[in-house]
Amino acid sequence: MNVLLKLTNVAVYVGDTCLLEPISLSLNQGQPLTILGQTGSGKSLLAQAIMGLLPADLRVSGEIEVFGEVMALEERQALWGREMVMLPQEPWHSLDPLMKGVDQVKEVYQFVREKDVQEALALANDDLRYVGLEGNGHKRPDELSGGMAQRLAITAATAGGAHVILADEPTKGLDVSRRDGIVQLLQARSNLGSLLTITHDVTVARQLGGVLLVIKKGRLVEQGEATQILDFPQDNYTRELIAAEPCAWSDMAPTIRNNSAEDILTADNLRLERGGRTLFDGLSFSIKRGEVVGIVGDSGCGKSSLGDALLDLLPISAGKLTRINKAAKPHQWLKLYQDPPSAFSASVSLGQLLDDLVTLHGIDKARIAPLMSRLSLPQGILTRNCLAVSGGELQRFAILRALLLDPVFLFADEPTSRLDPITAKEVTTLLVELASDAGCAVLLVSHDAALLQKTCHQVIAI
Amino acid sequence: MKMTLSQWLGLSILLALLAFSLLGVSLSPYSLSEQNLDAIMNAPSMEHWLGTDHLGRSMLTRLSYAVGLSFVLSLLCMLTSSLVGTAFGVWAVWGGKKVDTILGVVVNILLALPGLVVVLLFAAIAPGSFLVLYLAISLVQWVEYFRVVRAITQGVIQSPARQSSQMMGFGRWYQFKRHIWPAISPSVFTLAAFGGANAILTMASLGFVYVGIQPPLAELGLMTVELFPYYSDAPWLLAQPLVVIALMVFAFHLLAGKRA
């Protein structure tokens, strides 16, 4: 079997601190290799080290062998595009926002493969047809959905003819159906060479097969055949990762609705339009006190818009929305955001933000400490600002802030989609538990049907 | 806000010039228009540290007065235009579509006129009036703040962070303080530093074409044009106001810093 890429004791340091402990691996032709681990475990560093993209203050040790030769940094950089390529994590950051999709692929043929303009355009159009983007080539990246943009980015990145493909979290932020499509596309693209994928998604690892490496905090914990490891995990950490998949969760909420509880909100024949397009029509439901309601649907179907409409952040086009609980004040209808750092002001510390809230609503300060320990938030978090805290901690802090206001209704807009599975499980569990304790209704939006099934009393599909 | 080395350098130059101006005005034994026709265009000496001009007036006294005047004008213009521009910029976003449209029309009219022409027009109506000069320059400069602040604020208003604060019941002042101001302040400070330099240049240009501050007062542009005929007899005299203008503009530009 042909060895395309071989690492011997590759480690990454910043100063004297080791970020990624020595790791050895080999990537063989036709056998995909997957690196599985949580965010912050050093997975991306490995890919950057292989490509030669590490920031200048990081140091690499060990040997990197490409196509059977030990190569220095500059030699590896000369292979970019033609032999070795790294796929972008989020397509928005790697595509030109002002250029038509087909041109972005065409330029690769034109300048990397040195074809003439006509031929390059024809090849680019063929490529787009192959990935199902026929008729979308004239659109700019912001006019494409997340999955389409990712397909475009993959097409552009692989058009140079590279055989060794490194994919860093290629499915981040995509829904289940889009994710499967991307995985298949990656497999098809790499059948002549090989594929090294970095992911935190156990399902992706399962679909890709091949060799699997599990990394925890910069250290290799387990290595072997993917099916073998995922079905018979040896290490505790691997078991934890597998257990954190929503379909493996235990049921958190009773599936039977408590019919005696009073309704806090009813929606009757709701219609919502955005940008001249009808998102949904004739939607009727009611939400009871302390109930967890899930909304499921593909991206762009109006899940988040529905939640915003219930909070009066968006106008409804037709139908009737009644808030029955008149006693609740406006600030008791709250929202948890998808991207935790963007939901906080970075200008002051989190403690200051909390103090602001305490002063504004005259909240009893004694309530903070027990809630913080319940949410396992360390005290030290209060002196830092939102950019210096991990996503999971920040989302738990958001829950803390919301709960202090005694909410009656909490709209959680994909609160865990940007968190890795173990953290996501913790956050979801805490959210559901604490909200039920407080008698607060939760509207949970997710693209993961399994997650909602395990946590919600009622699921609305759009 | 942490200042870089070049920003400190700019600030030090400005403070040095300010000290020069204050000390010169308060300690000089000569008055601004005191002539001594026996000692015209003298080279720097013990009595006249920076020499005397074509009418035998002390250059040090005149220069320090002129620097002070430039500082007062530039700081006043900076403050006024940044306050007005920022306030209107935020209001345009927050006040709804109608306010935004009206302010947009006003700003576009102002932008369509070249800034210096507007100032010249005002200055020609009331030559020599410091107040009119100040109003005219501020009128031209607030537009920049407005455009930049409005553009940044639009993003912040849409942000989940501000929306979340609003839902939790925080008022508008709080939302401005915590969300909008931190986002716009770096740009406002940069604009303010450039605005200060521009105000000085505008005032000097007007003085140079005789529509700004009138003699016998001292103003950098006016001094330049007065000393211009003697450039070959006494080049050190003409050089003084020019060097000071260059230094002030340079210092303000250093203070503006460079954005990463």
Chain A residue numbers touching B168 (CB-CB < 8 A) = 331, 334, 357, 360, 401, 405
Which residue in B160, B170, B178 is closest to A348 by CB distance?
B178
Q: Where are the domains of chain B?
A: 5-256
- All residues at 6 or more sequence positions from A85 whose CB lies less than 8 Å from its CB, including other chains: A157, A158, A160, A162, A164, A165, A166
Q: Given this model, what pLDDT does residue B13 score?
A: 93
Which residue in A331, A345, A405 is closest to B179 by CB distance?
A345
Instruction: Note whether B164 contacts A360, CB cutoff 8 Å.
Output: no
CA-closest candidate to residue B50, choices B60, B40, B42, B41:
B60
One-letter-per-residue 3-state SS of B81-94: HHHHHHHHHHHHHH
Instruction: Note whether A335 contacts B182, CB cutoff 8 Å.
Output: no
Alpha-carbon distance of A138 to A393, in angstroms, equals 41
Test the B interface: residue of A310, A312, A314, A347 with most B CBs within 10 Å? A347
A332 to chain B: closest CA residue: B168
Test the A interface: residue of B156, B162, B164 with most A CBs within 10 Å? B164
Q: Given this model, what pLDDT does residue B247 score?
A: 93
Which uninterrupted H or E stretch holds A353? Answer: helix A350-361
* CATH 3.10.20.740 applies to domain A263-461: no
As a whole number of angstroms, the longest Cα–Cα distance in chain A is 73
Q: Given this model, what pLDDT does residue B244 score?
A: 93
Mean pLDDT of B249-260: 82
Question: Residue ranges of chain A with pLDDT lower than 50?
Answer: none
Instruction: Note whether A361 contacts B164, CB cutoff 8 Å.
Output: no
Instruction: Note whether A333 contacts B165, CB cutoff 8 Å.
Output: no
Q: Hey, do A3-247 and A263-461 end up sharing a CATH topology, with the first three levels equal? A: yes
Instruction: Note whether B170 contacts A339, CB cutoff 8 Å.
Output: no
> What is the nearest CA distance from B160 to chain A, expressed in angstroms?
5
Asked if residues A238 and A229 have their Cβ atoms less than 8 Å apart, the reply is yes
Alpha-carbon distance of A321 to B249, in angstroms, equals 60
Which residue in B167, B170, B181 is closest to A360 by CB distance?
B170
Which two three-digit tokens encode residue A205? Answer: 């690892």
CATH number of the domain at A3-247, out of 3.40.50.300, 3.30.70.1450, 3.40.50.2000, 1.20.1260.10? 3.40.50.300
* Type of residue at A266: T
Alpha-carbon distance of B83 to B81, in angstroms, equals 6
> What is the nearest CA distance from A346 to chain B, expressed in angstroms?
8
Confidence of residue B107 (pLDDT cuts 50, 70, 90): very high
Confidence of residue B243 (pLDDT cuts 50, 70, 90): very high
Degrees to nearest 5, angle at CA B209 with B204 and B213: 55
Alpha-carbon distance of A116 to A104, in angstroms, equals 15
A and B: number of Cβ contacts within 8 A = 49
Alpha-carbon distance of A231 to A87, in angstroms, equals 28
Instruction: Note whether A334 contacts B174, CB cutoff 8 Å.
Output: no
Helix-, strand-, coil-residue percentages of chain B, each rounded to 5: 75, 0, 25
Confidence of residue B76 (pLDDT cuts 50, 70, 90): very high
> What is the nearest CA distance from B185 to chain A, expressed in angstroms?
11
A311 to chain B: closest CA residue: B167
Instruction: Note whether A330 contacts B182, CB cutoff 8 Å.
Output: no
Q: Given this model, what pLDDT does residue A299 score?
A: 66
Q: Where are the domains of chain A?
A: 3-247, 263-461
Instruction: Note whether B167 contacts A342, CB cutoff 8 Å.
Output: no
Instruction: Note whether A342 contacts B160, CB cutoff 8 Å.
Output: yes
A359 to chain B: closest CA residue: B170
pLDDT in tens, B15-55: 999 999 999 888 888 888 788 778 788 878 877 788 888 88
Q: Given this model, what pLDDT does residue A450 score?
A: 81
Alpha-carbon distance of A61 to B72, in angstroms, equals 60
Test the A interface: residue of B159, B167, B177, B185 with most A CBs within 10 Å? B167
3-state class of A450 per DSSP?
A: helix
Degrees to nearest 5, angle at CA A227 with A225 and A228: 65
3-state class of A212 per DSSP?
A: strand
Q: What is the mean pLDDT of chain A?
A: 83
CATH number, span B5-256: 1.10.3720.10
Q: Given this model, what pLDDT does residue A339 score?
A: 81
Alpha-carbon distance of B25 to B22, in angstroms, equals 5
pLDDT in tens, A132-152: 888 788 888 877 777 788 888
Does the CB of B166 have a partner CB in chain A at under 8 Å? no
Q: Given this model, what pLDDT does residue A300 score?
A: 67
* Type of residue at A193: G
Cα pseudo-dihedral A79, A80, A82, A85, rounded to 10: 120
pLDDT in tens, B181-222: 999 998 999 999 999 999 999 988 888 888 888 888 888 888
Chain B residue numbers touching A410 (CB-CB < 8 A) = none
A410 sits in the region (left: phi over 0; alpha: psi -120 to 50; else beta) called beta
Q: Given this model, what pLDDT does residue B159 score?
A: 86
> What is the nearest CA distance from B246 to chain A, expressed in angstroms?
36
Alpha-carbon distance of A171 to A418, in angstroms, equals 11
Which residue in A339, A344, A361 is closest to B169 by CB distance?
A361
Q: Which residues pair with A271 in a beta bridge?
A: A318
> What is the nearest CA distance from B163 to chain A, expressed in angstroms?
8
B167 to chain A: closest CA residue: A331
Confidence of residue B260 (pLDDT cuts 50, 70, 90): very low
Confidence of residue B12 (pLDDT cuts 50, 70, 90): very high
The model carries a pTM of: 0.75
Instruction: Note whether A334 contacts B170, CB cutoff 8 Å.
Output: no
Which residue in B161, B169, B179 is closest to A331 by CB distance?
B169
